[in-house]
Structure 1
Amino acid sequence: MEIVRKNNINVRKTVEKAISNHPEFHFFVDELSADNRMPTYAGLADEKYTFEEMDDGFFDFINRKIHENGVYLRICYMAGQEVEGEAIFDLEIAGKSSTFKTNDLDRVQVVEMADYGIKITPEEIIFGATIDGGCRITPYFAEFGSKDCNETFMSLENPLNRYIIALIGEFLDSI
């Protein structure tokens, strides 16, 4: 299971494909600080880009941020619930929907909503998710397998995470 890959994707095509089915981009791309915090998400960024359309200016902004501390591109959205001892997750990736079910409740944390995607740096792509920093703490990016957050939520033993990693991998390979 690959959670870090060499950055050999076309960033513009990847972003366009991830965003194309959604009307508002600001929930899809975040610049990252050196400690993986998301200042754009929290409205704390020093440099802000006002999105009008996916034009050259927007991609120049993304390219600058990739070369600073990286950007986080949300690719997969999940809504979860537990029903009669089974965890049910509805997933959306690039406008396509799927459902994942499991009764392995010891390895899966059922959360109402979450997003998953990739951190893009000039050299590599890292698979992970947005982690809510809690009250007055900026949300941050955590890679799958990370111990910097709820270990069950980001565990590589979590069957939902293995499914999501495969989905995002297929998405990237189809670019």
Structure 2
Amino acid sequence: MEIKRNINLNIKKTVENSVCGNEEFHFYVDELTSNNYMPTYAGMADEKYAFDEMGDEFFEFLAQKADEDGIYIRLVYATASEMDGEAVFQLEYGEAKEEYRTEDIDDVLVFEFADYGIKVKGSEVTFGATIEGGCGHTPYFAEFGSKKASEDFISLENPLNRRIISIMEGMIYD
């Protein structure tokens, strides 16, 4: 399973596809610093541009940031719970909602909420997730299979992550 690839990403189509068609799902893109940290708390960069203002200026800004330090585009938002020995995940992406269940409870992390997406730096696109560094800390990007964060959360052995990656592959436009 490839987690990093070089493509000529169509940022506009990918971002428009990522916002779930839902104005409440407004944390769709963040700037990244050179060490993969968000310079603002999740979503603060979005305040520069409202959902209704995704015009040419917005996409020029994203293209510039993607070429400089990179951007993180959220593609899948997930919440989780454990019921009757199963992990149950509610996934939102594009204009879809899906429930994903697994009995492999030891191979997944049941979390309150998480987001998954892509880091875009120039022509390099990497699948990953934003990870909360703790109360009051800025989230950072970690690619799937990374040793930088909880291996339970971003492991490629995690059945949820395999599903997430297959969803994201269909949401990326070149």
TM-score between the two structures when normalised by the length of structure 2: 0.90
Structure 2 residue 170 is matched with structure 1 residue 164: no
Provide closer, same or farther for how the CA distance between residues 42 and 21 of structure 1 changes in structure 2, counting only shifts above 3 A. closer
Match of 1:63 in 2: 63
Whole-Å Cα distance in 2 between the matches of residues 71 and 134 of structure 1? 21
Tell me the CA shift for residue 100 of structure 1.
Answer: 1.1
Structure 2 residue 73 is matched with structure 1 residue 49: no
Match of 1:138 in 2: 138
Contact 1:129 1:144 in 2 (8 A): yes
Match of 1:116 in 2: 116
Q: Which runs of 5+ in 2 are unaligned?
A: none
Whole-Å Cα distance in 2 between the matches of residues 44 and 165 of structure 1? 26
User: Identity of paired residues, percent?
Assistant: 51
Aligned pairs for 1:1-175 (under 5 A) are: 1-19=1-19, 21-23=21-23, 26-41=26-41, 49-51=48-50, 53-172=53-172
Provide closer, same or farther for how the CA distance between residues 35 and 86 of structure 1 changes in structure 2, counting only shifts above 3 A. same
Tell me the CA shift for residue 25 of structure 1.
Answer: 7.0
Tell me the CA shift for residue 44 of structure 1.
Answer: 8.0
Aligned-partner residue type, residue 150 of structure 1: S
Aligned-partner residue type, residue 11 of structure 2: V
Whole-Å Cα distance in 2 between the matches of residues 8 and 42 of structure 1? 26
Aligned-partner residue type, residue 96 of structure 1: A
Tell me the CA shift for residue 37 of structure 1.
Answer: 0.7
Whole-Å Cα distance in 1 between the matches of residues 21 and 11 of structure 2? 17
Q: Alpha carbon RMSD of aligned pairs, Å?
A: 2.0
